């Protein structure tokens, strides 16, 4: 199952590469990504968090993005970045969640420039996020709008990893308690500090720290080194 899933990902990425026009996305897709047998201890990731106008990737827009590189078992703060994207879409009620107002967004970078910078940072790395489907869907949609093809990233999801942590290896794990899979609840298990929520850079850092704690626990349980195949998002 793992190899079939990996083969499907490779085919989607190859299809995106062949269809991508010359430019930043094509350059990104042409950069090799780690293989499924890559040990977690040597796995390059990029923890990413986005703030958006809503949850519909086809109609809503990314307002801000933050990222932090993770090199194996170390977080590289020197490579961290936070960008507000100057989208023309009105922020609306989403401002009550992330605090980004229309004037702040209007002063942001051109969205395409922000996406290009993210593509360069993500090249050769695995995307890491909490509830990664949101980041993947929005980044796929942004790439389709600008380049005509999706990003199709390999990703690791700390929400999925937390579900495995709470399952404790049970064949039929019980449903987790309400809220137990949220980022801040997951971090409490490991005594990690609580940062300001819905700030993209600190959320990305929070995700990176949680990932290191989760993989350490899962590795101790399995008593063997983890690989990308054993932690990636299905």
Confidence of residue 170 (pLDDT cuts 50, 70, 90): low
Among 229, 226, 233, 225, smallest CA distance to 207 is for: 233
User: What distance in Å separates the CA atoms of residue 102 and residue 99, rounded to the nearest whole number?
Assistant: 10
Q: Coil, helix or strand for 56?
A: coil
**With contact defined as beta carbons under 8 Å apart, do 19 and 148 qualify?**
yes
Specify the CATH number for 2-231; select among 3.30.420.10, 1.25.40.10, 3.20.20.140, 3.40.50.450: 3.30.420.10
pLDDT of residue 2: 47
Q: Strand 62-71 relative to strand 74-75: parallel, antiparallel, unpaired?
A: antiparallel
Q: Where are the domains of the chain?
A: 2-231
Q: pLDDT tens across 59-88, in order?
A: 999 999 999 999 999 999 999 999 999 988
Ranking 1-5, 25-29, 139-143, 210-214 by mean pLDDT, the lowest is 1-5
Residue 101: pLDDT band (50, 70, 90) is: confident
pLDDT at 25 over 90: yes
**Model pLDDT, residue 144:** 96
CB atoms within 10 A of CB 219: 16
pLDDT category at 206 given cuts 50, 70, 90 is very high
Q: Tell me, what's the pLDDT at 149? A: 95
* pTM, two decimal places: 0.92
Q: How far apart are CA 108 and CA 152, in angstroms?
A: 26
91 neighbors 9 (Cβ within 8 angstroms): no
What pLDDT does 139 receive? 97
């Amino acid at each position: 199952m793992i190899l079939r899933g990996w083969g499907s990902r490779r085919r989607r990425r190859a299809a995106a590469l062949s269809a991508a026009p010359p430019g930043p996305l094509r350059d990104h897709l042409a950069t090799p990504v780690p293989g499924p047998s890559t040990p977690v201890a040597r796995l390059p990731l990029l923890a990413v968090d986005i703030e958006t106008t809503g949850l519909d990737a086809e109609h809503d827009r990314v307002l801000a993005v933050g990222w932090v590189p993770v090199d194996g078992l170390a977080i590289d703060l020197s490579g961290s970045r936070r960008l507000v994207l100057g989208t023309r879409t009105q922020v609306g009620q989403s401002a009550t969640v992330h605090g980004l107002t229309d004037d702040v967004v209007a002063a942001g970078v051109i969205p395409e420039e922000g996406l290009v910078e993210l593509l360069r940072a993500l090249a050769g790395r695995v995307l890491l996020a909490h509830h990664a489907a949101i980041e993947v869907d929005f980044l796929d949609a942004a790439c389709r709008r600008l380049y005509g093809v999706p990003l199709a990233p390999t990703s690791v999801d700390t929400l999925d990893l937390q579900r495995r942590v709470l399952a404790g290896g049970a064949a039929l794990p019980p449903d987790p308690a309400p809220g137990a899979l949220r980022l801040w609840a997951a971090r409490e298990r490991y005594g990690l500090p609580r940062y300001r929520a819905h700030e993209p850079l600190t959320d990305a850092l929070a995700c990176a720290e949680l990932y290191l704690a989760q993989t350490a626990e899962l590795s101790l349980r399995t008593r063997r080194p983890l690989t990308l195949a054993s932690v990636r998002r299905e």
